[in-house]
Amino acid sequence: MKRLLIGGLMLTPLGACALGAAPPAPDLRTPAAYEAPAGQPLAAQALDRWWTLYGDAQLESLVERALAEAPDARTAAAKLREAQAVRRQALWATLPQGDIQGSAAKTRTDQVSGAQTGFVSGLGESESETLNFNVSWELDLWGKLRAARRAANADLAGARFDYESSRAALAASVADSLFQARGLAVQLDDARETLRIQRALHDVAAKKAGLGLAPSSDADRTAADVAQSEAQAASLAAQLQAARRTLLVLVGRGADPLDSLPAAAAVGTAPPPPAAVPGDLLARRPDVRQAQTRFESALGRLSYDKRALFPSFTLKPGVGLTRNVQPGSNIPGVGVIPGLDSTTSNWTLGAGLTVPVLDLPKLLAEVRAQNARAEQAGIAYEKAVQTAYSEAENALVGLNADENGVRLLTAGEAKARSAYDAARKGYGAGLSDLTSALQAEQQWRAARTALTGAQVQALRRSVQTFKALGGGWSPAGLAQQPAAPAAPKSSR
C-alpha cells in the first residue's frame, strides 16, 4: 500500500508535465493611428454620456428612461445579479465544507408472547439523540482553489462588461431609432408637399388638355405621378408609425399611445467625433474587456484542471454529541433496576489523501480540452481587438464621408431653392407659366429630400461612431460600482 501511494504521488506530476505547451498569448497589436480624419478632443466624461453632446432634450430623456426601465436594461441587470450569485456559489465551494447533522429516535419494545422468566431487559421505551458537525477542508497546496477563485472572479468581471455593453448598445439603439423616426417625419412632409405639387401640375395639365392647348397624354402622365406620390406618402406614414412604436417598445413604453412620443420633422447637426487612439479601445470597448475576462477565466480553469492532477490533502475535523436513554431491567430476586440515561461527546481530527490514478487519463483529457478552449478564448480576444479597431475606423471614415455629402447637398439645395425663388418671381411677374414654377419647386423639394436623407444618415453614423469608440459607459466607474442594480419593483 505504501509503495502504491508513493507511485501515485510520482505518477501525477509526470502526467502534468506531459500536457504540452500553454495556449499562445493573443496578438493585441493595433495600428499607431486611424487611417481616418482626426476628431475633436473630448473629455472622457463626455464620451461616457455622448448623447448629451447633441443638445437634444428629448434624446436625453428617452435614453435615460431606457437605461432605467427598458426591457433590455432590466434583463441585463438581472443577468448581472445572476452572475454575482454564481460567483458567490463558486467561491463558497473553495472554502471549508460541512453541515450540522442531527437525528433523534424513540423506540418502544413490548413482549407480545411467551412467559417472562429470568432476567428481562430492554422492554419499554428507549431514546437516542445525536448531533454531529463534520468539516471537510481541502488544503490548497498546489493553488487549485486559487485558480478556481480566479476563474470565478473573471466570470463576474465578464458579466459586468456584458452588462455595460448591453446598456451602451441600448443607448445607441434609442438614439438611432429617434433620428430615424425624425428623418421619416421630414420625408413624410416632403412627400406630402410633392403630392401637392403633383396635384397642381395635374390640374394645370388637365385644364390645358380641356382647352386644347396640350395633349391629353400630359394629363394622364401627371395623374400617374399623383398616384405614385400618394403611394409614397402612405408608405412613409406607415413607416413613421412603425418607427415610433418600435422606439416606445425600446424605451419600455410599449403600451403608451403613439401621441405620447412626438417625432418632430426636424434634423439636427451631429456633434464632432472625439479624437481617439486605437489603443484606447482596449480599455474603452466593453466587448473587448469582456473578451479579455473570458480569456482570463479560461486560463483560470486550465490552471485548476492541471492542479487537479496532483494529490489533494483534506482535513476532516468534527465534533459530536450523543444521548442515549435505555429502559430498566427486571432481575429476579433483585427487582427492577432503573434504566440508563447517558450523554457523551466526541471529537475527531482526521486527514484524507486522494491520489488520481485510474482517473488520470480522464483528467489529462480534460486538461487538453480546456487548453483548446483557452486557445479559442485567446483567439476570440484577438478578434475582438481587431474588430473594435475596424469598426471604429470604418465609422470615422463613414462619418467623414457623410459630413462631406451633407456639405455638398447643402450647396445643391441652396441653388435649387434659388432657382425656385426665381421661377416663382417670374411667374408672379407674368414672365413664366405655372408649370415652370411648379417644376422648379418640385426640383427644390427633391434636393431638400436628398439633403434631409444625408443629414439623417450623418446623425445615425455619428451614433455608430460613439458606440464604436466605446462610448456610453464609464470604465473608471465600473470599479466603484461592483454591485448589480436592484430588481425594479415595477416596470413602470
Return all residues near 168 (Cβ < 8 A) that are at least 6 apart. Answer: 286, 467, 470, 471, 472, 473
Ordered by start, the domain boundaries in the chain are 24-94+142-310+378-478, 98-109+116-139+312-354
Average pLDDT over residues 167-175: 94
Judge whether 268 and 460 are in contact, CB under 8 Å: no
Judge whether 116 and 330 are in contact, CB under 8 Å: yes
* Measured distance CA(155)–CA(215) in Å, rounded: 77
Could you read off the pLDDT of 242-280 as tens digits, one per residue?
A: 999 999 999 999 888 988 888 888 888 888 877 777 777
Q: Alpha-carbon dihedral of residues 172, 174, 179, 184, nearest 10 degrees?
A: 130
Q: With 80 as the cut, is the pLDDT of residue 432 above it?
A: no
Average pLDDT over residues 320-330: 79
Listing DSSP states for 377-440 in one string gives HHHHHHHHHHHHHHHHHHHHHHHHHHHHHHHHHHHHHHHHHHHHHHHHHHHHTTSS-HHHHHHH
Q: With 50 as the cut, is the pLDDT of residue 4 above it?
A: no
Average pLDDT over residues 406-434: 82
Average pLDDT over residues 349-366: 91
Q: What length does the chain have?
A: 492
Average pLDDT over residues 275-302: 88
- Of 293, 303, 307, nearest in space to 153 by CA: 293
Pairing label, strands 329-331, 341-354: unpaired
**What pLDDT score was predicted for residue 245?**
94
* Measured distance CA(206)–CA(19) in Å, rounded: 89
Mean pLDDT of the chain: 84
Quick one: 24-94+142-310+378-478 is in which CATH superfamily?
A: Outer membrane efflux proteins (OEP) (1.20.1600.10)
